[in-house]
Amino acid sequence: MFDPTRRRAGSNPIQEGFNLAQQALVNLNGDNVVTAAGAVTEMTNIGTGGAAYDLDVVAGTGANLKPHPSGSCLLYGASGDYLSTPNAVANQITGNIDIRGDLTLDDWTSGTTQMIVAKDVTTQRAYRLGVTSTGTLELGVSASAGNITFVYSTVGVGFADGTRHWVRATVDVDNGASGWDATFYTSEDGIAWTQLGDVVTTATAIAITAATSNVQIGALNVTQQRVLGSVHTVKVYNGIDGTLAVDFNAADAGNLGATSFASSTTGETWTLNGNTFIQNTGHQVVHSIGSAGLESTAAQTIANVGTVFATARSSIDPTTAQRHIFDAKIGASRWVGFAATTSGAPSIHQGTTVNLSEALDAAAHVWTFQFNAGATSKLTVSDIGTATGDAGSLGWDYATLFAGLSGANTWVGYIGELIVFDYALSDSEVASVQAYLASSNAI
């Protein structure tokens, strides 16, 4: 256990907070997860409590609980999950074109085509790039608004499921020999490219149609060929290694829950549709769209007093239902990490509920739950407020994350880290852990 007498004068509060966090009974974070088919099946404890506090039983729909890398847009693959930007002169490319994408797919040979980017809607068809059911790259270009010609890489990408890579396709619309050429590439950094298979030549030079459709990422025509995974960056150049015309970069979205944002380089506005989410904490988190949670399978008792920290963001209006970051119990008694009232006010509960007077928003926050078994119990949500009062004096044993103990009241949004101490930290210790989490999670 952390001994405050060992701290040296003038010590760095961020490093001090890190040391504290490492010595917590429970320390769970999004960088220590186990996945299957892209879904989280276990969140591993790196604290002193050991494996007994691993949360490894999925309650509800496991496919709704996914790892979410920083600087990416998470796509659950449901109908209507995609990003879009309107038609513009800049994205009406009629000559040579260069399309690139940086993405993590749950399955690179999924049995269905997954569309990276497409300016291709019904009778307004121009260009598109996707990954086929067998892991080859598919490029489509249109010489007339109602038709499109497809070519494919001669070999598959060969990537392991759940891994991140760049892919690229270029079109030389006139190769000087009465035809047009498509060349495919892969990369690990988006700088050094390796040609994928052979150049694919099609007879008769073309001009790509100046279609008026919008540009979509993660799906074709809203509902088809949907991506299951994360998209970090998509770039479309007018010309091979030419002028950057379209630039989606998830990092441009910040971490405030925005549903639309502007490209920092090319200026177009990107809109998130359906269950598409972007986070920029600087590390991986675990994200839920609801109806899913994780449970501990073994018990370790914390009797009455303890301190819990979390970094989390709600992705929906919290006034729609109670939603728990965590829940824990001994028998029928409970520690509750968040039970929103219909006013959207966060709360702490150890037999009695103490609510903040302020409502929760959709930004990321550091949460501090001080279960002090008396009138000094306190909930603090960074940039929102603090509530102090007698929350009761119950204990902790089995626990759930992203849901209440019954599997209901599920959190919609992400959790980056959960830290549990089996004693009451001092105010200075609390402040140092808060500072560490605020820094390390880019809140």
The domain limits of the chain are 9-68+284-440, 72-279
Q: Mean pLDDT score of the chain, rounded to an integer?
A: 90
Residue 36 has pLDDT above 80, yes or no: yes
How far, in Å, CA of 272 to CA of 275, rounded? 8
Mean pLDDT confidence for 258-262: 91
Residue 267 has pLDDT above 70, yes or no: yes
Query: Cα-Cα-Cα-Cα dihedral of 25, 28, 34, 38, to 10°?
Result: 160
Residue 7 has pLDDT above 70, yes or no: no
- Locate 347 and state its tokens: 């709360």
The structure's pTM equals: 0.90
Which string of b and e fits 256-284 if b means at least 16 CB within 10 Å?
A: ebeeebebeebebebebbbbbbbbbbebb
**14 or 16, which is more confident:** 16
Give me the percent of the chain exceeding a pLDDT of 90: 68
Task: Please state which CATH class domain 72-279 belongs to.
Answer: mainly beta
H/E run at residue 66: strand 65-68
Q: Contact at 8 Å (CB) between 51 and 305?
A: no
Residue 24 has pLDDT above 70, yes or no: yes
Query: Cα-Cα-Cα-Cα dihedral of 249, 250, 251, 255, to 10°?
Result: 160
Q: Which of 131, 140, 102 is nearest to 225 (CA)?
A: 131
Residue 3 has pLDDT above 50, yes or no: no
Give me the percent of the chain exceeding a pLDDT of 70: 94
- Which of 2-11, 80-89, 286-295, 374-383 has the least mean pLDDT? 2-11
How far, in Å, CA of 328 to CA of 341, rounded? 19
**Mind listing the pLDDT tens digit for each residue in 404-429?**
888 888 999 999 999 999 999 999 99
- Which of 125-139, 245-259, 365-379 has the least mean pLDDT? 245-259
Mean pLDDT confidence for 19-48: 91
* β pairing state of 164-172 and 97-105: antiparallel
Mean pLDDT confidence for 16-28: 88
Q: Contact at 8 Å (CB) between 133 and 113?
A: yes
pLDDT band at 1 (very low <50, low <70, confident <90, very high): very low
- Name beta bridge partners: 292: 60
Residue 305 has pLDDT above 90, yes or no: yes
Burial of 429 (0-12, 13-18, 19+ CB in 10 A): buried
Q: Where are the beta strands (DSSP E) in 282-410?
A: 285-288, 292-296, 306-314, 326-330, 333-336, 347-349, 353-355, 364-371, 378-381, 385-388, 398-401
Question: In the chain, how long is the greatest CA-to-CA distance?
Answer: 83
Q: Tell me, yes or no, if the two domains 9-68+284-440 and 72-279 fold the same way.
A: yes
- Locate 408 and state its tokens: 């209901």
- Residue 212: the pLDDT is 95
- Residue 340: the pLDDT is 62
Residue 259 has pLDDT above 50, yes or no: yes
Mean pLDDT confidence for 29-57: 89
Residue 8 has pLDDT above 50, yes or no: no
Give the CB-side neighbour count of residue 135, counting CA atoms within 13 A: 16
- Which of 147-151, 182-186, 257-261, 388-392 has the least mean pLDDT? 257-261
Task: State the amino acid at position 168 in one-letter form.
Answer: R
- Residue 56: the pLDDT is 86
- Locate 84 and state its tokens: 């879009």
Strand order in the sheet with 82-85: 147-152, 137-144, 124-131, 114-121, 215-217, 82-85, 269-273, 260-262
Q: Does domain 9-68+284-440 have CATH number 3.20.20.140?
A: no
